[in-house]
Structure 1
């Protein structure tokens, strides 16, 4: 049996994904959403979360902001 996924449960698709290193050498996964020339918003979650924590906010903000979400 197939299931239809509700829009709010499907993770937003990033415009780009990057793998970067912090100054202390930690690997950081970065997702970019929204228009490149829009005002930027950086989303930083708590220690035990990941970028999926921000799915609802990314969906709303990415319409008119460049949303940058990251995790390790």
Structure 2
């Protein structure tokens, strides 16, 4: 997966899962388990892990872009 595909997947997760649950997690102080599960299923939890260790091997820019997309949906 390249950086643009990773960002596309992150934006989809942010829109479909993270944003709708954000106020609930803020008010309850709860962990966004459903968002983390979706990120794992999309292969995004290993975004910046080297490919030889099983990750995507994408750089810090791709990581920052994905984190920014998620933070826009749920800043907590």
Q: Under a length normalisation based on structure 2, what TM-score does the superposition of the two structures give?
A: 0.28
TM-score (norm: length of structure 1): 0.29
Of structures 1 and 2, the one with the larger relative CO (CA 8 A, separation 6+) is: 2
Which structure shows the higher strand fraction?
A: 1
Greater helix fraction, Structure 1 or Structure 2: 2
Q: Is the radius of gyration larger for structure 1 or structure 2?
A: 1
